[in-house]
Chain A
Amino acid sequence: MRFLFINHLQNARQSLRSNRMRSYLTMLGVTIGVASITIILSLSSGAGKIVGDQIDSLGGNITIIRPGSPQTMSTNLSQIKPQRNFSASSLTEYDLGVIKDIKHVAAAAPIMIISGTIKADNTAPSDSSVVATTPELQTISNLKVQTGQFLDSTIDKNTVVIGPQLAINIFGTDQAIGKSLTVHGKALTVIGVLKRANDPINYNSVDFDNAAIINLEVGKQLGLGQPQIQQIDVRSDSVTNLSGVIVDLNKALLISHGGENNFSVLSGDQIAQPTSQLFFALAGATTAIASISLLVGGIGIMNIMLVNVAERTREIGIRKALGANNGDIAAQFMIESIAIGIGGGVSGYILGYVIAFAISTFLTFQPAINWQIAAIAGFISIVMGTVFGLYPAFRASRKDPIESLREYS
């Protein structure tokens, strides 16, 4: 048995070289397709990583409790679960007390998002949020204060800490200490302005740059009836105790909810899941659109390979007369089209990252570099070269040597 693979490679190189311009243009089609897929995947997984990175940077000893029964992990585009933002929360202030009594819990802070406009010199934009919580949130979520101080249980309840962007929006300056603002008609004194964090996507679902943080007691007084606690952040005293804390949390909350499993205790990747799931959905949709350009590139390959076969009919005849069998001819054309595919894939991968990094200078996150994207780009380009080269190669191998030799002679 002859092993002609290297010979076919040399053959393919010769013929691709002899049609340099055409080969490069065909490759360009694949390049554009692979580049767009690389851009989308790297940016979306970069965005999906934000929340996970935040949790890691907080030391890995954070767990959060959200209302609603635990959801199973799913990154499948067709099985995305709706987020229950509209139902009444099952978490209560009583739960907070229960949680604080659990061993190894260092701190717990509720997040209660209140709808209501913030007014001062100017009315705040509607995307600003009001968060009612306890002073412990600062240590759990690592909020940094630029001027003034964070909420404190030892001072007056009618105080507020605001984000720097909100301060600028309503006071025209971030030097807002001592000024007064109203939430739902209640006057509050600004005692602190947060440092700009610039991470609108985070596990608290609150953009702290653009939020007013008030005391939980004040939040309850705002006349919204039953307090709606959307989330409770819990920090254990060490990373090693976190898993024990999670077990205890589940047990204690199950008892306090009367056996009803209407809450979920999330940690690590689970916290990031709703956010990253959204990004996966987005990425999936855009990838589907980008794959149209891949299809076009693939048809380009097939087109050029068919032209190649037609143009080189006589050559095929000569090669057959000189001892090539059908398989040799097919292999020659297959390798040519796979080479075009791989060439386009490699340049598309590089081009994609160049563009992704260029785009990321306008964004708050960096594109992710991981082996999955490289594998996807490689796989796509090889599959394209193979699939779209198959038919031309088959046609080439089926040429009758006599007919082929007669052509153009």
Chain B
Amino acid sequence: MTEIPTNTPVIELHNLKKRFGIGDAEHFALDGIDLTINSGEFIAIMGPSGCGKTTLLNILGLLDRSTDGEYKLDGREISTISARRQAYIRSHQIGFIFQSFNLIPRLSVIENVALPLTYKGILQTKRLKIASRILHNFHLGEREYYMPSQLSGGQTQRVAIARALVNEPSIILADEPTGNLDSRSSHVIMEELSDLHKRGNTIIMVTHNPRLTSYASRVITMLDGKINTDTKSADDETIPFTDITPTAVKKRKKVKLVRPWTKRRHKSKATLVSSNRRKK
């Protein structure tokens, strides 16, 4: 482990503010956030309810607009980008994972997973093929034509993760992904996310559960719309592909997924990294 991470920043925030209400009811959900997130980081955002975590995530995911301040994504200032272009970025670069899963109930599992590809202009047959492949990687192959209501919570969230990944996004935003799950399912989901992290994705996760921060490479706590603490975890050096270029990230993601929840959790980091190197 001689490489020192020299990551390029993907997200830069300067004095970001988000105001709700006007006049007496005025309230800053975000009150001057300064934050730089490098590619390949696994960030856990913690804090009490109402401190602005979700609002921050929504703004990062281009679902919401800040009232004030700068937000640069890949060096581009977001406030100057058209709504259409923002949708394009959401479609190509960002994957969302929600606490309440947010699958469309009237569509089957495979159609749900294929949904983001629709907005990339991929036709149905090919969409379903891609979705089927990714579902197989998540070992949900035999559940393809189930409806979301027929799945357990853990399975539903895995479907949601599969959907978030189907577009091969570089940034994954997870809003309390394990909030509705029991501890065993939570564990599986977190394994999933940390596996994605190891393959070079940037993950930003909002959570209430302090135990989950052990998966993250950097933990940010928020209080009253401001960043309270910002600690890089001891595992920071495990961030892989430090000098990687975006195209290389893409190539890397084509590597077949291994079944993460059967993989021994405590496999030594050295082996992991060296296996990654071999693939290079």
Binding site for B on A (CB under 8 A): 2-4, 6-7, 10-11, 14-15, 18, 314-315, 317-328, 401-402, 405, 409
- Give chain B nearest CB distance to A95 CB in angstroms: 75
Please state if B111 and A324 are interface contacts (CB–CB under 8 Å).
no
Q: Chain B residues in contact with chain A, CB under 8 A?
A: 58, 61, 63-64, 83-84, 86-88, 90-92, 96, 98, 100, 102, 104, 106-107, 111, 115-116, 118-124, 163, 167
- CB-CB under 8 A for A322 and B115, given A315-B104, A402-B58: yes
* 8 A-B pairs with C-beta separation under 8 A: A4-B118, A11-B118, A318-B104, A318-B115, A321-B102, A324-B119, A325-B83, A401-B64
A326 CB contacts on chain B under 8 angstroms: 83-84, 87
Nearest-neighbor residue (CB-CB) of A322 within chain B: B116
With both beta carbons as reference points, the residue of chain A lying nearest to B59 in the complex is identified as: A402
Residues of B within 8 A of A321 (CB): 61, 63, 90, 96, 102
Q: Which of A6, A14, A322 contacts B91 (CB 8 A)?
A: A322
Cα(A392)–Cα(B239), bound, Å: 48
Bound-state CA distance A136–B167 (Å) is 87
Q: Which residue of B lies closest to A2 (CB)?
A: B121
Chain A nearest CB from B101 CB (Å) reads 10
Q: Given the interface contacts A314-B102, A402-B63, does A322 sit within 8 Å of B58 by beta carbon?
A: no
Bound Cα distance from A6 to B64, whole angstroms: 29
Closest CB in chain B relative to A114 CB, distance in Å = 76
Supplied contacts A323-B91, A325-B86, A325-B88, 14 more A-B pairs, CB within 8 Å: A2-B121, A7-B118, A10-B118, A10-B123, A317-B102, A318-B102, A319-B115, A322-B119, A325-B87, A326-B83, A326-B84, A328-B87, A401-B64, A402-B64
Interface of A is mostly: helix
- Inter-chain CA distance A15–B119, complex, in Å, is 16
Taking the nearest CB of chain A, how far is it from the CB of B60, in angstroms? 12
How far, in Å, is A12 (CB) from chain B's closest CB?
12
- Distance between Cα atoms of A275 and B238 in the complex (Å): 92
Q: A320-B63, A325-B87 are in contact. Are A7 and B106 (CB under 8 A)?
A: no
Judging by beta carbons under 8 Å apart, are A323 and B63 in contact?
A: no
B202 to nearest A CB, angstroms? Answer: 17
Residues in B whose Cβ lies below 8 Å from that of A409: 100, 102
- B123 near A6 with CB under 8 A, answer yes
Q: Which of A320, A324, A405 contacts B98 (CB 8 A)?
A: A405
Distance, CA A327 to CA B63, complexed state (A):
16
Contact partners of A4 in chain B: CB under 8 A: 118-119, 121
Contact A320 B87 (CB under 8 A): yes
> B119 is contacted by which of A6, A314, A323 (Cβ under 8 Å)?
A323
Whole-angstrom CA separation of A324 from B121 in the bound complex: 11
CB-defined contacts of A320 to chain B, threshold 8 Å: 63, 87, 90
Q: Give every chain A residue within 8 A of B64 (Cβ-Cβ).
A: 401-402
Are A323 and B167 in contact, CB atoms less than 8 angstroms apart? Answer: yes
Kindly state the separation between the CA atoms of A371 and B87 in the bound complex, as whole angstroms.
Answer: 44
Q: How far is the CA of A324 from the CA of B88 in the complex (A)?
A: 8
Cβ B106 vs Cβ A323 within 8 A: no
Bound-complex Cα distance A319 to B119 (A) = 9
Q: Which residue of A lies closest to B104 (CB)?
A: A315
How distant is A312 from chain B, measured CB to nearest CB, in Å?
Answer: 9
B121 partner, pick from A3, A317, A325, beta carbons under 8 A: A3
Residues of A within 8 A of B58 (CB): 402
CA distance A314 to B91 in the complex (A): 18
Which residue of chain B has the shortest Cβ distance to A4 in the bound complex?
B121
Interface centre among B84, B92, B121, by most A CB within 10 Å?
Answer: B121
| A324 and B62 alpha carbons, distance in the complex (Å) | 12
Chain B residue, CB-CB nearest to A404: B63
Known contacts A4-B118, A328-B119; decide if A322 and B96 are in contact (CB<8 Å): yes
CA distance A315 to B118 in the complex (A): 14
- Among residues of B, the one whose C-beta sits closest to the C-beta of A1 is B121
A409 to B176 CA separation, bound complex (whole angstroms): 14
